[in-house]
Chains A and B, each alone.
Chain A
Amino acid sequence: MKILVIEDEPALLESILAYFTGEGNICEHASDFALASEKIAVYSYDCILLDLGLPGGEGLELLTKLKQLKKRDGVLIISARHSLDDKLAGLDLGADDYLVKPFHLSELKARVSAIVRRKNFDGDNVIHFNEMAVDVSAMKVTVKGNLVILTKKEFDLLVYFLSNRNKVVTKNAMAEHLWGDEMDLSDDFDFIYTHVKNLRKKLLEAGAADYLRSVYGIGYKFGDI
């Protein structure tokens, strides 16, 4: 997929680009309002990561611009602004999602993948990975044509892993993805282990190869070994 990252903080921009490049993703970036609006006008992207409060202009104006140009690019707002009205304003203007800083890169990737999948809904809504096929809209998983019955959490977890193929994801990020902000109540993420264990067992039983690896007690990695 083709992604435009509009972010004025160089360190963060660099991390995001590093995380997204590879696996056929093309990433471009803009770090001020003028450059961003130029790129938006000239090119089309699968997803635009938009930081609010840019040098030279307000990020939300870019959304209005996109609408005027009648572009169908997916937009994910990434902002440190936590207030509800900002979120609502962004979503009202046509953004697809809103992620508050600080976030986990794996969460960002999962959200971007979801937006891109939604945008291409009439096309392919099935994620293929080796012998696996995950139909996101029907919530159906097949391995070599065999249906695998997963719980909602296990399914979400699998989609999350697939969005972050070959990346190490932390238990912390997984917990936040699956349960939202409630997880700030506990620093003990052992209960995630149960879900991961069950998911792995079901996939193995259905005949999939073992793609899951535990990483030094901080997280997991899903991908070709």
Chain B
Amino acid sequence: MKLANRYNRVNILTSIVVFAITGLIYYVVIHFILTEKLDRDLVVEENEIRQYVDTYHKLPLPASYLDQKIAYKNLSGHVPEREFLYTRYYNAKEQENEPGRSLITVVYLNGKAVEVTITKSRVESEDLVRIILLITIGITLILLLSLLLINRFVLNRLWRPFYAILNGMKSFEVARMDAIAHEDTRIDEFNELHQSVNAMAERVRRDYKELKSFTDNASHEMMTPLAVINSKLDSLLQTESFTAQQGELLADVYHATGRLSRLHQSLLLLAKIENNLIPDFQEIDLKEMVEVKGRQFQELFEKDGLSLTTDLQVVEIKMSRYLADILLNNLFSNGVRHNITGGYIRVELSSVALIMANSGKPGNIQSKIFDRFSKSADSEGMGLGLAISKQICNLYGFRISYQEENGEHIFAVYFGG
């Protein structure tokens, strides 16, 4: 939920509740005041009647005015209490029943109790209350409406610089040098946010550059001696004045330098993936790539008598071609390396996942299979291939999993995470 919406909702809900409560209080208080006034009028009337009776020793004529009516009733026996009450009475002029307020009291005329009912019309006060209520409701509605409009238009405009910064951050790429977009605003918070975001981006870029130059320099400094060793070995090989035993030694040295340079490259690659230093990002036809890989590995399959079965659907995926190649390489070579003679490799590709299953020796796989330098005892590898695969998957939000079922080793890369 957007901040503005959330704020809007709270704001309007609170306003409605507050207006409802104040309206209610308003109504009750005014009603109370008006009733008081009516009651005072009734008491004045009562006093007049009493004075009349005291002075003339007879009851005034029962009169029926527009808004007032007086009625008498002779009492015998039970004498009621003096009380105010709401009643309805018949207004002869208007010829309709109207709400009224009555005072029932008792006067003594020549020792006889007479019940006097004075009734006053409540129509006016009811009308007043109704008008006040209507005005209150009207004001409430106008206020709510203006609140809504303000929130919708003014708040949206107020927040626009914020969304501009947000979009800038979303499309931020560490390798590109452009600053994060900014809309001019007089709001200090947004200006400050923009400054901080740009400062952060600058720091990130600087770190990125440092890291990049570090990896480049490290690679240069470490690869050059290796290149020298390799070239010297190649030169030595041309002298041809060595024995079979020396040849064996040479082969071992070649082997070691090869491993060293591959180890170095793998570690560099890991560092690069982890720090997102591989910018190349494109649409890739994974099906075609898997097929090509299958052909590339043909000799290796044949060597161990492995059979390859594939069930591939066309899948397009967005990632670096370079990393996709490495990922497939690692999965394929893993399948070859940890296989048995005459075994099989099964590849399934769907829009959901890439599944690589291979036959192999059961039960010698550790749980830390995706960790660096974790490898089974009889493995020839460096234990970096799967760590790299996992990093590649992490980078693109894929999920890689491993399981073993009845001597079948299954690696699955789920594209949806």
Which residues from chain A sit less than 8 Å from chain B, CB to CB?
A: 9, 11-12, 15-16, 18-19, 53, 79-86, 100-106, 153, 167-168, 170, 172-173, 179-182, 184-188, 190-191, 194-195, 215-219
Q: With A82-B268, A191-B300 as given contacts, are A102 and B322 in contact (CB-CB < 8 Å)?
A: no
The digit string for B301-339, where 1 denotes a CB below 8 A from any CB of A, is: 011000000000000000000100000010011001100
How far apart are B326's CB and chain A's nearest CB, in angstroms? 9
Q: Which 9 A-B pairs have the closest CB atoms?
A: A216-B247, A185-B333, A80-B223, A15-B231, A102-B227, A101-B227, A105-B234, A80-B220, A102-B226
* Contact, CB under 8 Å: A187 / B230: no
28 A-B pairs (CB sep. < 8 Å): A9-B224, A16-B231, A80-B220, A80-B223, A80-B224, A82-B223, A83-B272, A86-B216, A102-B229, A105-B231, A153-B299, A170-B251, A172-B258, A179-B296, A182-B333, A184-B258, A186-B300, A186-B333, A186-B336, A186-B380, A188-B303, A191-B300, A191-B302, A215-B240, A216-B244, A216-B247, A217-B248, A218-B251
Q: With A19-B235, A184-B262, A191-B300 as given contacts, are A101 and B247 in contact (CB-CB < 8 Å)?
A: no
* Contact, CB under 8 Å: A187 / B227: no
* Contact, CB under 8 Å: A84 / B322: yes
Q: With A102-B257, A170-B237 as given contacts, are A84 and B278 in contact (CB-CB < 8 Å)?
A: yes
Cβ of B280 under 8 Å from chain A:
yes
Using Cβ atoms and an 8 Å threshold, which residues of chain A touch B219? 80-82
* Contact, CB under 8 Å: A85 / B279: yes
Q: B253-293: which residues lie under 8 A (CB-CB) from chain A?
A: 254-255, 257-258, 261-262, 265, 268, 272, 277-280
Cβ of B238 under 8 Å from chain A:
yes
Q: Which residue of B lies closest to A176 (CB)?
A: B258
Q: With A102-B223, A185-B336, A191-B302 as given contacts, are A83 and B215 in contact (CB-CB < 8 Å)?
A: yes
* Contact, CB under 8 Å: A103 / B230: yes
Q: A84–B265 Cα gap in the complex (Å)?
A: 13
Q: A140–B41 Cα gap in the complex (Å)?
A: 126
Using Cβ atoms and an 8 Å threshold, which residues of chain A touch B224? 9, 12, 80, 101
Task: Please indicate which of the listed interface residues B220, B242, B337 has the most CB atoms of chain A within 10 Å of its own CB.
Answer: B220
Q: A195–B216 Cα gap in the complex (Å)?
A: 37
Q: Which residue of A lies closest to B247 (CB)?
A: A216
Using Cβ atoms and an 8 Å threshold, which residues of chain A touch B322? 84
Q: A4–B223 Cα gap in the complex (Å)?
A: 22
Cβ of B228 under 8 Å from chain A:
yes
Q: A83-B212, A180-B296 are in contact. List 5 more A-B contacts (CB 8 A).
A: A81-B219, A101-B223, A105-B235, A182-B332, A184-B258
* Contact, CB under 8 Å: A104 / B230: yes
Q: A18–B332 Cα gap in the complex (Å)?
A: 39
* Contact, CB under 8 Å: B227 / A80: yes
Q: A218–B88 Cα gap in the complex (Å)?
A: 121
Cβ of B143 under 8 Å from chain A:
no
Cβ of B232 under 8 Å from chain A:
yes
Cβ of B23 under 8 Å from chain A:
no
Using Cβ atoms and an 8 Å threshold, which residues of chain B touch A106? 234
Q: A180–B295 Cα gap in the complex (Å)?
A: 13
Using Cβ atoms and an 8 Å threshold, which residues of chain A touch B226? 101-102
Q: A190–B302 Cα gap in the complex (Å)?
A: 11
How far apart are A126's CB and chain B's nearest CB, in angstroms? 27
Q: A160–B237 Cα gap in the complex (Å)?
A: 17
* Contact, CB under 8 Å: B242 / A15: no
Using Cβ atoms and an 8 Å threshold, which residues of chain B touch A19? 231, 234-235, 238
Q: A102–B229 Cα gap in the complex (Å)?
A: 9
Q: A190–B297 Cα gap in the complex (Å)?
A: 14
Using Cβ atoms and an 8 Å threshold, which residues of chain A touch B238? 18-19, 167-168
How far apart are B358's CB and chain A's nearest CB, in angstroms? 13
Using Cβ atoms and an 8 Å threshold, which residues of chain B touch A191? 299-300, 302-303
Q: A185–B256 Cα gap in the complex (Å)?
A: 14
Task: Please indicate which of the listed interface residues B227, B255, B302 has the most CB atoms of chain A within 10 Å of its own CB.
Answer: B227
* Contact, CB under 8 Å: A15 / B234: yes
Q: A215–B242 Cα gap in the complex (Å)?
A: 10
How far apart are A195's CB and chain B's nearest CB, in angstroms? 8
Q: A182–B327 Cα gap in the complex (Å)?
A: 11
Q: Which residue of A lies closest to B302 (CB)?
A: A191
Cβ of B381 under 8 Å from chain A:
yes
**Residue from B235, B262, B337 within 8 A of A18 (CB atoms):** B235
Q: Which residue of B lies closest to A166 (CB)?
A: B238
How far apart are A199's CB and chain B's nearest CB, in angstroms? 14
Q: A106–B385 Cα gap in the complex (Å)?
A: 27
Q: A194–B322 Cα gap in the complex (Å)?
A: 30
Task: Please indicate which of the listed interface residues B226, B235, B280, B322 has the most CB atoms of chain A within 10 Å of its own CB.
Answer: B235
